[in-house]
Structure formats: structure tokens, C-alpha cells
Amino acid sequence: MAQTQILHVDPYQPDPDTIAVAAAAIAGGQLVAFPTETVYGLGANAFDPAAVERIFTAKQRPWTDPLIVHLATVSHLDRVVQDMPAALIGLAERFWPGPLTLVLCRGRSVAPNVSAGRNTVAVRVPAHPVAHALLVACDLPIAAPSANLFSRPSPTTAQHVLDDLDGRVEVILDGGTATIGLESTVVDLTQTPPVLLRPGGVPAELLLDLLPDLRVPADPMVGAEGEATASPGMLLKHYAPHAAVVLLRGNALSARALALTILNLLHNAGRRVGLLVPDEEFSLYVGLHAEVVGMGPSTDLLAVARYLFARLRELDSLGVDVILAREVAAGGLGTAIRDRLFRAAEGKILDADAPVDLGNWLTPLLK
Ligand code: AMP
Ligand code: MG
């Protein structure tokens, strides 16, 4: 087990000496957690298979789930990929640096375990000044998945990283809260037509301008299971807190009525319940047997996205057994938020506007 060193850096103007310590750790085959604009990443030298293997071990991530390679600049692409499809240039110009990951043909120098043995590699140029400074200082591509334990909510602060990976990572660069709070959008350019593998920080609507033939699953969260071979990381259970999550669909008042019934049943059975609701619905749930956490106003999806994972972790730390979370409408960033909540809930949705067999639903929650 490693001794974890936490180094504080200014998120906008990181101190070069501090960055040099982290860069030396990467070059020496160690693991460094660092902030990006999406979530915190757990980084290792993408050319070093032994260092990459340590990422999987630290996270307890299955070997079949490939990692994203981060580059300082688009001009380093030829270090990690074999060919550049025509669409790549326009996408890179418009969205890099930024929260878009492109799946391309893997270059020979990239450690095969980065790609879980596939001949493709996922690549991104992050916009966060700390991530950028680290990449420039070590002059290596950095393979980095989210810096959490596998299947847990992604980390958006250094404390989240420490909570999951203390003693499993040599260095944590603490650069404050990740700005977007959700992972990157993943697009596979090795398939024709290209396919959206994961909704994320760049809304699919924006990609369609440059990729008019992009295949966007009608509701990616449902399509994802069928896409399992194309996108091995899109598992049904992901981003999950310890508490069981159930999504509540339907209009505000019917959702409240259903939530009340469930709350009473669970409370009587000795279960502690958390509610994750848009701020505008918060007052509907005051004074009940539940820990109520606001997810932000549903008109401000940037705020909902930024704090979503932190709020799931907060509900866990409040000791609840079950979280009822209001579903978020699709569209723009909402599609990615909806996808993360769907996976946190392992697909469990209760529709308050449709007949519900509560007995069926509650039995597993009472186990
Ligand atoms: P994370 O870094 O934890 O956000 O996970 C990265 C995700 O990117 C994986 O879970 C996959 O869904 C996707 N990904 C990475 N590499 C590939 C690849 N070569 N082919 C398809 N999907 C990939
Ligand atoms: Mg992850």
C-alpha cells in the first residue's frame, strides 16, 4: 500500500514545482489523481503496462473496462493513435480541449491493457489547467479513468478521491471541485456511422452539427445494455452509492403522493430514506421521515451536473438505506444526468403516473 500525498494547487495557476512532483510520479510508474473539468482522474503513464495495471488494481476495476488516454494537445495524437478519420479534425478543433472522448485506432506504443486488449483507444484533451499542466510537465499520455472505486459515484473533489483510494494512490493533486461534474461524452469514430457510446459533458445535440450521421441511441441509458460490447464500461450498475437508489418518474404531485406512501412503509420497517429532488420541489418534502437533499434547480442543469455525485455521496454519509431520486428530463446535459441516475438506480424506475405494484418494488428494498 502506498502512502498517499495530497498536494494543493491553484486550479487556475497551478504551481510548477508542485506539478513537477506529480509529473515525476507519473514518469516513475506511480499513480496520480488529478482534477479535470469532468471528474477527478486516476492517472498513470499510458505507455507503461505495469503502471496501467496498478490503476485497475487500485480501483478494483474489471480488466475488461478500457481507460481514456489524456493528451496535452491535439498535436500529440500521433503518439497514441494509428489513423485520423476525416471527422476527427473538425471535432478536435471545436471541442478540444474539453469533455469529448473519441475512440480511435490504437497506436502501437499504448499499453494494451489501457484498451482492455482492444485495437481501439479512447482519447481526450482535457481543458482543466491542472490536468493540462501535468500532461505538459510529464510529456507523456496519461491513462486515467475516474478516481473512484469501481461502480461508486465518480469523484468531483480531492476528498472523494481520498475517501475511496487512500493508500491506493501515491499523489492526489487537490485543485478544488471539478467544474462539469459528469464524465466526458464518448463517441466511437472507428464505427461507420460513428456511435455515441456515453452521453456526457458535450451534449449530443452539439455533435450532430459536425457528425450528422452520428448514431445516438434513442434513450442511451436503455440502449446501453445492448451496446455492451462496443462500450464495455457502460454497465447497468455504475455511479452507485451504498444505499439502494430508485428513480421516481412522473409529475411533481403524483410523485410526492407515491413517495409519501413508500416513505411510510419503509419508515415503519425501520429503514432510513433519502430524497434527492429538484430545488423547486424541495418544499413538497419538508417535515417527512426522510433526509431531503436538493439537486439544484431543474432549470440549471450545469448546477445539477456539478454536484450530482457529491449529493449521492452526501446521502450515503447521512446513513440512508434507500434513496428516492426524481428523474431528470432528457435533452442537453439532462441526458447525461439522467443516464448517471439511471445507472446509480441499476435501472429501477417507479412511474407515479402509472399503476404500480408496490409490494413487488418494496420486497427487495426491505431485505
Ligand atoms: P471512465 O474513465 O471511468 O469514465 O471510463 C471510461 C469509459 O470510456 C469506459 O468505461 C468506456 O465506456 C469508454 N471507453 C474507453 N476506451 C474505450 C474503447 N477503446 N472502446 C469503447 N469504449 C471505451
Ligand atoms: Mg468511471
pLDDT tens profile 71-107: 999 999 999 999 899 999 999 999 999 999 999 999 9
What is the residue with the minimal CA distance to atom 9 of ligand 1? 233
> Does a cis peptide bond (omega within 30 degrees of 0) precede residue 199?
no
Cα separation, 42 vs 20, whole angstroms: 17
Residue from 67, 81, 164, 227 whose mutation best tests the ligand 1 pocket (most atoms within 8 A of CB): 67
Query: What's the average model confidence in pLDDT over 173-197?
Result: 96
Q: Which of 83-87, 143-147, 181-185, 215-219 has the lowest mean pLDDT?
A: 215-219
H or E element, residue 8? strand 5-8
Q: How far does the centroid of ligand 2 lie from the alpha carbon of residue 362, in Å? A: 29
Residue from 231, 309, 340, 343 whose mutation best tests the ligand 1 pocket (most atoms within 8 A of CB): 231
Which cell numbers hold the place of 5?
500525498
What pLDDT, on a 0 to 100 scale, did the predictor assign at position 233? 55
Task: Look up residue 218 and give its DSSP letter.
Answer: S
What is the residue with the minimal CA distance to atom 11 of ligand 1? 233
Q: Is the confidence at residue 234, as pLDDT, over 90?
A: no
With a pLDDT cut of 70, the percent of the chain lying above it is 95
Alpha carbon 265 to its chain's center: 33
Q: Is the confidence at residue 222, as pLDDT, over 70?
A: no
Task: Look up residue 106 and give its DSSP letter.
Answer: B
What is the residue with the minimal CA distance to atom 21 of ligand 1? 231
What pLDDT, on a 0 to 100 scale, did the predictor assign at position 220? 52
Q: How far does the centroid of ligand 2 lie from the alpha carbon of residue 261, in Å? A: 34
Q: How far does the centroid of ligand 2 lie from the alpha carbon of residue 154, in Å? A: 6
The tally of CA atoms less than 13 A away on the side-chain side of residue 260 is: 11
Q: How far is CA 48 from CA 110, 143, 252, in A?
A: 8, 10, 51
Where does the pLDDT of residue 284 fall: very low under 50, low under 70, confident under 90, or very high at 90 and above? very high
Which ligand 1 atom lies nearest to the CA of residue 101? 8
Describe the chain by its helix, strand, coil percentages, rounded to 5: 35, 20, 45
Class of domain 244-366: alpha beta
Q: How far does the centroid of ligand 2 lie from the alpha carbon of residue 358, in Å? A: 32
Residue 331, phi-psi category: left (phi > 0), alpha (psi -120 to 50), beta (remainder):
left
Q: At what angle do helices 129-138 and 16-27 cross, to 10 degrees?
A: 60
Q: Parse the chain into domains and list their residue ranges.
A: 5-207, 244-366
Residue 367's identity, in one-letter code, is: K
The backbone torsions φ and ψ at residue 144, rounded to the nearest 5 degrees and listed phi first, read: -150, 115
Instruction: Tell me the average pLDDT of the chain.
Output: 93
Task: Point out the ligand nearest to the CA of residue 188.
Answer: 1
What pLDDT, on a 0 to 100 scale, did the predictor assign at position 224? 42
What pLDDT, on a 0 to 100 scale, did the predictor assign at position 359? 80
Please give all residues whose beta carbon lies within 6 A of any atom in ligand 1, as ranges: 65-68, 103, 115, 118, 120-122, 145-146, 183, 186, 188, 197-198, 231, 233-234
What is the residue with the minimal CA distance to atom 5 of ligand 1? 145
Class of domain 5-207: alpha beta
What is the residue with the minimal CA distance to atom 1 of ligand 1? 145
Beta strand 195-198 with 68-70: parallel, antiparallel or unpaired?
A: unpaired
Q: Is the confidence at residue 282, as pLDDT, over 60?
A: yes
Alpha carbon 171 to its chain's center: 21
Where does the pLDDT of residue 19 fall: very low under 50, low under 70, confident under 90, or very high at 90 and above? very high
Q: How far does the centroid of ligand 2 lie from the alpha carbon of residue 196, in Å? A: 17
> Does a cis peptide bond (omega within 30 degrees of 0) precede residue 193?
yes
Q: How far does the centroid of ligand 2 lie from the alpha carbon of residue 266, in Å? A: 31
Where does the pLDDT of residue 231 fall: very low under 50, low under 70, confident under 90, or very high at 90 and above? low
What tens digit of pLDDT does each residue of 295-326 get? 999 999 999 999 999 999 999 999 999 999 99
E strands, 311-348, are: 322-326
| Bridge partners (DSSP) listed for residue 295 | none
What pLDDT, on a 0 to 100 scale, did the predictor assign at position 229? 42
| Bridge partners (DSSP) listed for residue 142 | 45, 70
Task: Look up residue 93 and give its DSSP letter.
Answer: H
Which cell numbers hold the place of 317?
454519509
What is the residue with the minimal CA distance to atom 3 of ligand 1? 145
pTM of the full predicted structure?
0.95
CB atoms within 10 A of CB 150: 18
Q: In sequence order, what are the residues at sequence separation of 6 or more whose Cβ sits closer than 8 angstroms to the Cβ of residue 109?
A: 47, 79, 80
Q: Is the confidence at residue 226, as pLDDT, over 80?
A: no
Q: How far does the centroid of ligand 2 lie from the alpha carbon of residue 251, in Å? A: 31
Where does the pLDDT of residue 217 fall: very low under 50, low under 70, confident under 90, or very high at 90 and above? confident
Where does the pLDDT of residue 232 fall: very low under 50, low under 70, confident under 90, or very high at 90 and above? low
Q: Is the confidence at residue 9, as pLDDT, over 90?
A: yes
Which cell numbers hold the place of 131?
490536468
